[in-house]
Amino acid sequence: MPTFDRRDCLKISASFIAALIGTTALPAFADETEEPAKDAAPASDAGKAGDQTPPPFNWDWLVARMKARAGAPYEDDQGTLPEAVANLDYDAHRRIRFRPDHARWKGDERNFELQAFYPGWLFDKPVHLFEVVEGQLRPMEFKADDFEYREPLDQETFEKIDLPGVAGFRLHYPLNRSDYRDELISFLGSSYFRALGRGNIYGLSARGLAVDTASGSAEEFPRFTRFYIERPDEGAREIKLYAELESERVAGAYAFSITPGVETVVDVQAAIFLRSAVSRLGLAPLSSMYLFGENDHTGFDDFRPEVHDSDGLVILRASGERIWRPLTNPGQLQLSIFSEDNPGGFGLLQRDRTPDHYLDTEARYERRPSVWIEPVGEWGKGSVFLAEIPSKEEVHDNVVAFWMPENGLEAGAEHWLHYRMLWAMEVEGDVPLARVIRTRTGQGGTASSEADPSLRKFLVDFAGDPLVGLGDDAAIEVHLNVGNGKITHKILNKLPGNDVWRLIVDVRRKDAGKPVELSAALFLDQERLSETWTYQWGQAV
């Protein structure tokens, strides 16, 4: 299959999502036990590139600065790109690459190195970077000779250009080998960022904030406009950085602590201030790609059995119940809202790690990371929101998941958020429940039945420690719920020769204009054995 640069697709994905949901817009830490100071004195609009006397930097200063900016009308003061840079098209932009030997901190015996992304093409808003050294800000300026310009570009043309900023940056770290600094995390495009655990390759993305996603009004894409990066100590295994986020209706301060490893941990604190009211606020948002998989391969003439960066949404409810929602590529926009009070976490996961299930030796979907969002402190009442958007190409991120608070959508509202992100092959840990290992759907009824679009069959396989050793005659009960449908057939059997239990259900839809919601979990003597499988059979197209 042809390869592609998913970094270059982030803004394409944003505009693609906006079009499909009917929108028009393109797109030292505080103590963990305390919120950042809410009553810090307002900060002046200092700290821009070129300031002669930048102020001492700290988290309270940044929060106060962004709160003050939120109290004023939005102003895009990042500067403009030179004409030659602004006019770069896709082919020209991809021929400009940062010179690795120009990486910041290279040769300093530091584990981390920083490389910048060239502005232009879709990345038409300059981003400013600052290094924080002993509490003082130092502009990180990038010049034309920090980049190489591959043919047919005219290098002399670009050597004369003074860059007003960059498109973003990436950090490198010896993640997989001690003698090589792998790419670890990148910040590029709006408020998008992506990280890697050991053995991963880039897949899904995170964002700083989602505003009015799939709300029926124009979606707004806030941007990280400035980054403040603490110079890492020699031998450091953690790096801290801070960011300013802004758009017409929001302003925010963000703090990131990044610890690479088998599980790369990104600890995030955010102080978010609303200039104007919003319809929907998405906190800790994730964006991923799901084209087709074992449960909905229909309509794709492709030799590969599955194509996706993530195959399911997991939610840990406050009660301890775990929900598994297999992803789909629906015929029309599909929304799911899971109400919760102080959730234990949620994430978009790639559970299927078997290469033969993808047969793609270039994209290597079995190596895409899963991401788990774990709240630090109480988040209160709200919902985990999932949007699944129709897509015909794997270059688009067509799945969005985030936490949606119940209140605080009016002008002047503030949100103080703290959460921990895990990026890794395996992020669920040792959960004492059987998991869903397979979901398949197809025509309902028997093999000899005529096709009936109102009848559908669902197959769900459960496996895990609680099921090991149970005999075929174990009195396992299925707690099965169906909304907008009627169960016409149900059977649960243990598969021969292993400890997998298979549930098969036929469901007849009642109202063709509404989706069918299903959920199922296994119990023995009133004790829960499995996570809860949920599925949305979308309305008839």
pLDDT of the chain, 541 residues: tens digit per residue: 333 344 344 444 444 444 444 433 333 333 333 344 444 444 444 444 444 566 689 999 999 999 999 999 999 888 899 999 999 999 999 999 999 999 999 988 899 999 999 999 999 999 999 999 999 999 999 999 999 999 999 999 999 899 999 999 999 999 999 999 999 999 999 999 999 999 999 999 999 999 999 998 899 999 999 999 999 999 999 999 999 999 999 999 999 999 999 999 999 999 999 999 999 999 999 999 999 999 987 789 999 999 999 999 999 999 999 999 999 999 999 999 999 999 999 999 999 999 999 999 999 999 999 999 999 999 999 999 999 999 999 999 999 999 999 999 999 999 999 999 999 999 999 899 999 999 999 999 887 778 899 999 999 999 999 999 999 999 999 999 999 999 999 999 999 999 999 999 999 999 999 999 999 999 999 999 999 999 999 876 6
CATH class in words for 1-27+197-211+278-409:
mainly beta
What pLDDT, on the 0 to 100 scale, is given for residue 414? 98
Whole-angstrom distance, CA of residue 509 vs CA of residue 514: 9
Exposed, middle or buried, 454 (CB in 10 Å: 0-12/13-18/19+)? middle
Domain with CATH 2.70.98.10 in the chain: 1-27+197-211+278-409, 28-188+221-276
What pLDDT, on the 0 to 100 scale, is given for residue 141? 93
CATH number of 28-188+221-276: 2.70.98.10
Whole-angstrom distance, CA of residue 200 vs CA of residue 365: 10
Least Cα distance to 379 among 337, 422, 339, 427 occurs for 339
What pLDDT, on the 0 to 100 scale, is given for residue 22? 43
What DSSP letter does each residue of 457-510 carry, written as one string? EEEEEEESGGGTT--TT---EEEEEEESEEEEEEEEEEPTTSS-EEEEEEEEES
Instruction: State how far the alpha carbon of 80 is from the alpha carbons of 123, 162, 249, 289, in Å.
Output: 11, 11, 21, 32
Whole-angstrom distance, CA of residue 108 vs CA of residue 294: 49
Whole-angstrom distance, CA of residue 327 vs CA of residue 436: 13
Whole-angstrom distance, CA of residue 503 vs CA of residue 436: 11
Side-chain-side CA neighbours of residue 166 (13 Å): 27
Question: pLDDT for 124-181, tens place per residue?
Answer: 999 999 999 999 999 999 999 999 999 999 999 999 899 999 999 999 999 999 999 9
Instruction: Look up residue 76 and give its amino acid.
Output: D
Q: What is the pairing mode between strands 223-230 and 128-133?
A: parallel
What pLDDT, on the 0 to 100 scale, is given for residue 37? 46
- Angle (CA) 166-158-51 rounded to 5° is 40
Number of residues that this document lists for the chain: 541
Domain with CATH 2.60.40.10 in the chain: 435-537
Instruction: Look up residue 162 and give its amino acid.
Output: D
What pLDDT, on the 0 to 100 scale, is given for residue 67? 98
What pLDDT, on the 0 to 100 scale, is given for residue 494? 97
Q: What is the pairing mode between strands 435-443 and 532-537?
A: unpaired
Judged by DSSP in three states, 366 sits in helix
CATH class in words for 435-537:
mainly beta
What pLDDT, on the 0 to 100 scale, is given for residue 447? 79
DSSP 452: -
Per the CB < 8 A criterion, the answer to whether 248 and 269 are in contact is: no
Whole-angstrom distance, CA of residue 17 vs CA of residue 391: 9
Give exposure, 396-432, as e/b (b: 16+ Cβ within 10 Å): bbbbbbbbbbeebbeeebebebbbbbbbbbbbbeeee
What pLDDT, on the 0 to 100 scale, is given for residue 442? 93
Per the CB < 8 A criterion, the answer to whether 312 and 349 are in contact is: yes
Whole-angstrom distance, CA of residue 278 vs CA of residue 286: 19
